[in-house]
Amino acid sequence: MNIQHLTRTSDAEWRIAPTGKMRVPGIIFATEQLIREMDEKVIEQTSNVAMLPGIVKASFAMPDAHWGYGFPIGGVAAFDPNEGGIISAGGVGFDVSCGVRTLLTGLQLEEIGLHKEELADALACSIPAGVGSRGHLHLSSDELCAMLEGGAQWAVSRGYGDAADLDRIEEHGCMEGAQPELVSAQAKARMQDEVGTLGSGNHYLEVQYVARVFDARAAEAFNLRPQQIVISIHCGSRGLGHQIGTEYLREMAEAASSYHIDLPDRELACAPLRSPLGERYLGSMRAAINCALANRQVLTHLTRQAFDRIFPGSHPRILYDVSHNTCKLERHVVDGVLRELFVHRKGATRSLGPGSPELPEEYQSVGQPVLIGGTMGTSSWILAGTRESEQRAFSSACHGAGRAMSRHAATRRWRGRELVDDLAQHGILVRSPSLRGVAEEAPGAYKDVDAVIEATGQAQLARKVAQLLPLIVIKG
């Protein structure tokens, strides 16, 4: 990226001054190394988002930002419905409520060794993964609507988990305001057999261990210990979310002129929050959030079954579950005034600081667990939210490493079989139905996640708690 159009305001923050139709500045959180490695589209897209009606404070990009559809992936923007604020399907993303759930086990690294191959095979057998993968559930029309309305609460009521799970899930496992009746028949049909599946792309289930602890107080609150085995599940709303995004982006693009919205990029198609179209999208999107929460809950149940077969009584429990492709109504203080805003986070994780009433009691003193995924052969991270993040970026942080090259470019450079063999030599077992999918998600196709985490800490968006390293990877 050419940084001549940016003003550096700190070691990990860069400002794009408002020009042309920009209503607010753009802010990119990154070190100089990361900012130079970003593609030019990040500046362009961050600036374009700053032109949308009703935007508040700034258009933000996280340290893992890269080119996306309309919004940059890693983009954060808040809109005020009382000032003509909009909602954008492109600002949420196609995989609505894609997120990470981390599970804790009572197992230590030394206990896994002799059973590692057996555990990898058990998980690969239990967890459906890959393009078009089908789950163990086939939902009737009524059950599908109940799932879209109830989220993880629906899954628990059907025997997929425990009531205690819900206390450790964002929104307590159910997003209010979902309207399943607004979700198209085609979107519903795509989900009838997909609840409890990982899907493809960058989705995964990883068995990991705690390699290092950086914040002993937060680690104690999160019940993390060195060498402890944990499990991270990264997936979203599957075909249903993608279908909702596709349908509403088309409708929003066609309706923009009737709402007198001048789009700097057709991919930024949006609608006023207080419009029939905006309200319909909100109802459908919230149903997709519940779909993702239910999906991760069923996957948790399947994971527990696999673990309990190999390690009887282990029964992993939830540390936390947080999404990173959403738009939510939240309260934030802006210039000393408490306002209700709709915060888009696309490839960005909510990062609530200590004292937030939305957090479980045991996390109140240290902040929200912020779960950051790695890329098969690299670190994943558990961070903690900060009070500073509230003021700096509407309580938001990064969500992963961020791609450094396209999937097509990755398949030209790497072969899946070679990657699987190389990772096995480093003690990481990969199970995937698609070697091409493995090549697309090669660790080298992503930015340095550890550098992204350092920048996130420098920008005070979240602070380091624990570094996780992979042992087993189940991928689509």
Residues 6+ apart with CB under 8 A from 43: 1, 5, 6, 16, 26, 28
Stated pTM of the model: 0.96
pLDDT at 359: 96
Q: Tell me, what DSSP letter sits at residue 72?
A: P
The CA-based angle 363-369-370, given to 5 degrees, is: 155
Task: Map tokens 């599970």 to a residue.
Answer: 103
Closest by Cα among 72, 397, 375 to 201: 375
Position 369: which residue type? P
Quick one: average pLDDT of 4-28?
96
CA atoms within 13 A on the CB side of 337: 7
Give residue 130's pLDDT band: very low, low, confident or very high (50, 70, 90).
confident
pLDDT at 265: 94
Asked whether residue 17 carries a pLDDT value surpassing 80, the answer given is yes
411-436 pLDDT, tens per residue? 999 999 999 999 999 999 999 999 99
Domain that holds residue 300: 3-475
Give residue 469's pLDDT band: very low, low, confident or very high (50, 70, 90).
very high
Task: Map tokens 């993702």 to a residue.
Answer: 292
Pairwise CA distance, residues 305 & 18, whole Å: 54
Give residue 131's pLDDT band: very low, low, confident or very high (50, 70, 90).
confident
Residues 6+ apart with CB under 8 A from 216: none
Asked whether residue 132 carries a pLDDT value surpassing 80, the answer given is no
Pairwise CA distance, residues 221 & 270, whole Å: 41
Asked whether residue 464 carries a pLDDT value surpassing 80, the answer given is yes
Pairwise CA distance, residues 378 & 446, whole Å: 10
**Weakest mean pLDDT among 1-15, 71-85, 98-112:** 1-15
360-384 pLDDT, tens per residue? 999 999 999 999 999 899 999 999 9
What is the total count of domains within the chain? Answer: 1
Q: Tell me, what DSSP letter sits at residue 171?
A: G
Closest by Cα among 203, 429, 470 to 324: 203
pLDDT at 7: 96
Say if CB 257 and CB 137 are below 8 A apart.
no
Asked whether residue 113 carries a pLDDT value surpassing 80, the answer given is yes
Closest by Cα among 282, 290, 288 to 157: 290
Please identify every residue annotated as catalytic: 399
Residues 6+ apart with CB under 8 A from 394: 57, 60, 76, 78, 330, 332, 341, 343
Quick one: average pLDDT of 323-352?
97
Give residue 76's pLDDT band: very low, low, confident or very high (50, 70, 90).
very high
Asked whether residue 312 carries a pLDDT value surpassing 80, the answer given is yes
The CA-based angle 23-26-27, given to 5 degrees, is: 145
Quick one: average pLDDT of 344-357?
97
223-265 pLDDT, tens per residue? 999 999 999 999 999 999 999 999 999 999 999 999 999 999 9
The number of beta carbons lying within 10 Å of the beta carbon of residue 407 is: 16
The DSSP bridge pattern shows strands 462-475 and 429-431 to be parallel
- For the record, the structure tokens of 309 come out as 């077969």
255-309 pLDDT, tens per residue? 999 999 999 999 999 999 999 999 999 999 999 999 999 999 999 999 999 999 9
- CATH number at 15 reads 3.90.1860.10
Asked whether residue 5 carries a pLDDT value surpassing 90, the answer given is no
pLDDT at 341: 98
Mean pLDDT of all residues belonging to the chain = 96
Strand-pairing partners, residue 228, are: 108
Quick one: average pLDDT of 180-205?
95
Quick one: average pLDDT of 135-152?
95
Percent of the chain with pLDDT over 90: 93
- For the record, the structure tokens of 3 come out as 């940084």
Pairwise CA distance, residues 273 & 79, whole Å: 9
